Amino acid sequence: MLKFVKNTPFIEDTSLNDILRVCKTPFYIYSQEMINQKVNYTKKILGNNIFFSVKSNSNQAVLKLMQNLGLGADVVSIGELKRSLTAGFDPNKIIFEGVGKSKDDLLYAIQKNIRLINTESLEEIKLLEKLAKEKKKKINIGVRLNPNIDGDTINKISTGKKTDKFGIEINDINYIINLIKNSPSLNLISISCHIGSQISKIDAYKNTFAEMKKAADKFVNAGVEIKHVDLGGGFHVKYKEGDPNFEIQDVKRELDICFGKSKYDISFEPGRYLTAESGMLITSIITKKQNGGINYLIVDAGMHTLIRPAMYNAYHEIEAINNKSKNKISYAIAGPICESSDVFQKDIKLSEQSIGDILLIKNAGAYGKVMSSNYNTRELPAEILVNKDVFAVIYSPQKIEKYIDEDITPSWL
């Protein structure tokens, strides 16, 4: 994503120095070309039924780009549904997931005639039946099944084991069939699953596909005409050397083996896989210090800007723009937040750095800005989209004073 031309850093054909002149750090920057390439490659391998996981990067410009590239939207909240509609997605290309949809959420989705509401509990199916009767409508729904498959990822992003909160246990299929057959208001046309993120082992996909094929056939044999089978996402992204190799062609091979002769309409819901590598977080060194023999670089990005290292112990490669010095120093890169966990890396060798130098935190195009916060009463980071030799600010943060003004002090204080 980054290249140097005569010692000047470029993203695509845009100079990073030009962006730094108009946008203060920290900020996220995305390469439109890289997103285009990843989306088109994914469609080439897995087909056109791709629904972008909006929770991974919900900026309106990114959503509009995905819509322009022919993707649908996979949303997990009423806010994401509204974002997707605002970005121009056809309601018929929006799937509403989520383990905690309220009555108002469901009513809004029904009103907008979206493609599918994927239910995640038996109680939600019953609530939808009640709402459909009240509205005198027949509603197309799906059910998200929990196949009890361990994706062999970290626990905090596992979603497919029977002890995880997501989906309906696959053992409840007979109960679901009975509910649907006795409901004149619900039309079950889809089943879905998602076993987690950063799934690299192909056996996890193979086993999931087999369970979902078996489940779809069971519904059909019972007289419930399942048309769509959504197999989720979770495709692995390589964040560092030594991470497992993952090829989406291997997923396609297992898909063809399992579903090749079936008539089910297959879809996927990738998010991170499409945007992570297209994004970087640009941050400046505020100060330097040494504690207990550790050389700290304190930067203006922190866990409020990119929470993944603090929350998941996730690794992001960091590159320095200033590589003039041949003297390599072992640094700890830490943010300004008043938390000991606000550290990006604890032992990274870089050329000697100075206050004001720029660092690039890579593979930050997914679960970055979208998970940022105002913790410690700090501004959110800006977002920049680069398209060849032009760039646009696609999110400009509110000033701190604006956030303060949003608080309401009661009259008795």
Catalytic residue numbers read: 338
Query: Hey, what are 204's tokens?
Result: 């996890």
Contacts with 286 (C-beta within 8 Å, 6 or more apart), sequence order? 298, 299, 300, 336, 355
Specify the long-range contacts of residues 250-253, CB closer than 8 Å, at least 24 apart: 250/202, 250/205, 251/45, 251/46, 251/202, 251/205, 252/45, 252/46
Give dist(CA 161, CA 114) in Å, integer: 28
3-class DSSP state of 29: strand
Torsion angle (degrees, nearest 10) of CA 82, 83, 86, 91: -60
238-252 as b/e, with b when 16 or more CB fall inside 10 Å?
Answer: bbeeeeeebebebbe
DSSP annotation string for 353-391: --TT-EEEE-S-SSSSGGG---TTT-PPPEEEEEETTEE
CA dist 163 → 142, 147, 159, 297 (Å): 21, 11, 9, 41
Give dist(CA 409, CA 105) in Å, integer: 30
Sign of torsion over alpha carbons 125, 126, 127, 128:
positive
273 close to 43: Cβ distance less than 8 angstroms: no
DSSP-assigned letter for residue 91: G
62 close to 385: Cβ distance less than 8 angstroms: yes
Query: Hey, what are 83's tokens?
Result: 């974002």
Q: How many residues does the chain have?
A: 413
Q: Nearest-CA neighbor of 60 among 375, 385, 328, 397?
A: 385
Query: Hey, what are 84's tokens?
Result: 């997707």
Sign of torsion over alpha carbons 169, 170, 175, 179:
positive
